[in-house]
Amino acid sequence: MSQTESSKKFFFYSLCVFFAASTASIALQNLIWFPVLVLAWFHFKNKPRGSIRLDLFAAWTLGWVLTFYLGALLGVNPLQSLETVHRYLTILLILFVGSMGMGVLETQKLLKCFTWGTVFCAIFGIGKHLFLHQDRIDSFSGDKMVFGGLLMTALLIQTGSLMNRPKDWLTWIGFGLNGWALLLTETRGAWVGLLAGFLLLGWRFNRRWLLAGLGVVLVGYFFLPADIQERVKSITRLDISYNENHEIGDSSQTRVLIWITGIKIIKDHPLGIGQGNIGEIFPAYKMKALEEPTVPHLHDNFLQIAVQNGWLGLAVYLGWIGCYFFYAFKYQGRATMDRELNWTLACCFLGALVWGLTEFTFSQQFMYLQYSLLGLHWGLWKCEKDTFSKA
């Protein structure tokens, strides 16, 4: 085997390990940087596997990353911000992974590695619930919220596969295990994100699946355990009370009080407070009804970005999202398989956005996975032919 072919194999299989381990281990997720280094090596040898062409989506991505650093420099504590802002360079995985020149078949193999790795984690999490009586399971991740988001993504990928291959019983088994595990995480934002992604998938792929799926959800609700039913009902239960100034004074949902506090912060800091400063500045703005003296994040991606990166950062973030969906809806694809993959990945992104309305999804573990998936998607848009060797 030639040195080039050996590098290709290493390149691909290190990506397989990353996707398979992304739900289980933050440490193993660092394997993503091995293929990135291989890509850089090819570039230095003047034999690139792909090229980072600055199309509109790439330009928006770079601009969005820059707003994190601008917010850090203009924030309330630049030195503290610069200690943590480097983590957002993970977003640039979009450009590295998208430049690896993989075809649709290779991308599908990577998605299978991810979904079956997630099934393994789901089995472990379900076991913790059945035998160790863990109420909200976290599997290996150590965080039930992150585990819920990863399960949501895997379920959307499996749904896209099943809509096109409904007789794949093995995928049905994996889907059932992931779905069971997602329920046991009790991550409500991920439940709603899954529903949003499924609605788009059904609308684009198969309207009958859409109606059948909604029917299963409605009927299935009545067979859920009482505690899960109560968790579902609590999604819309706000129980808001107002003070003498006709302002919100209390709510059964702590997140509502956190959001109001975040809005107060952005009013006073339109340029942003920078990264890593929420805990420092929150006590001065927090509402009296909040028992927590401070919080690590604001439980909403859009609000958190506005507070950290300022109004400019939020505007660029919204533009980046709009640019993404412009490409996703514009993409035609050379074959049905290409178009199916495009919409499956778009629904994963939509699910993450909806989940991000009630959670700050920028944990390192979820960022590695999400931006690698976005990289695969960007690579699909700009790749005219399968340039990666069949693995």
Q: Output the DSSP codes for 153-170.
A: HHHHHHHHHHHH-TT-HH
Length of the chain: 391
User: Higher confidence at residue 29 or residue 262?
Assistant: 262
Q: How many domains does the chain have?
A: 1
- pLDDT tens column, 335-362: 888 999 999 999 999 999 999 999 999 9
- Of 111-120, 207-216, 219-228, 275-284, minimum mean pLDDT range: 207-216
Q: Averaged over 366-385, what is the pLDDT? A: 87
pLDDT value of residue 7: 57
The pTM of the full predicted model, rounded to 2 decimals, is 0.91
pLDDT value of residue 47: 54
Q: How many other CB atoms are there within 10 angstroms of residue 95's CB atom? A: 22
% of the chain residues with pLDDT over 70? 89
Contact by Cβ (8 Å): 115, 174: yes
Q: How many other CB atoms are there within 10 angstroms of residue 364's CB atom? A: 12
Question: Does 264 map to a domain?
Answer: no
Question: Does 277 map to a domain?
Answer: no
pLDDT value of residue 389: 37
Question: Does 128 map to a domain?
Answer: yes
CA–CA distance, 339 with 98 (Å, rounded to integer): 17
Task: Give the angle subtended at the CA of 167 by the CAs of 164 and 172, to the nearest 5°.
Answer: 90
Question: Does 256 map to a domain?
Answer: no
User: Higher confidence at residue 245 or residue 80?
Assistant: 80
- Of 23-37, 54-68, 144-158, 305-319, minimum mean pLDDT range: 23-37
Contact by Cβ (8 Å): 386, 100: no
Question: Does 282 map to a domain?
Answer: no
Domain that holds residue 73: 3-235+298-382
Question: Does 187 map to a domain?
Answer: yes
CA–CA distance, 23 with 372 (Å, rounded to integer): 13
CA–CA distance, 19 with 183 (Å, rounded to integer): 23
CA–CA distance, 295 with 72 (Å, rounded to integer): 19
pLDDT value of residue 253: 79
Rg of the chain on CA atoms, in Å: 22
Please state, rounded to an integer, the average pLDDT across all residues of the chain.
87
- pLDDT tens column, 69-106: 999 999 999 999 998 999 999 999 999 888 887 889 99
pLDDT value of residue 336: 86
**Does residue 391 have a pLDDT over 70?**
no
Question: Does 290 map to a domain?
Answer: no
pLDDT value of residue 36: 77
Q: Averaged over 190-214, what is the pLDDT? A: 89
Question: Does 201 map to a domain?
Answer: yes
- pLDDT tens column, 293-313: 778 889 999 999 999 999 999
**Three-state SS at 234:** helix
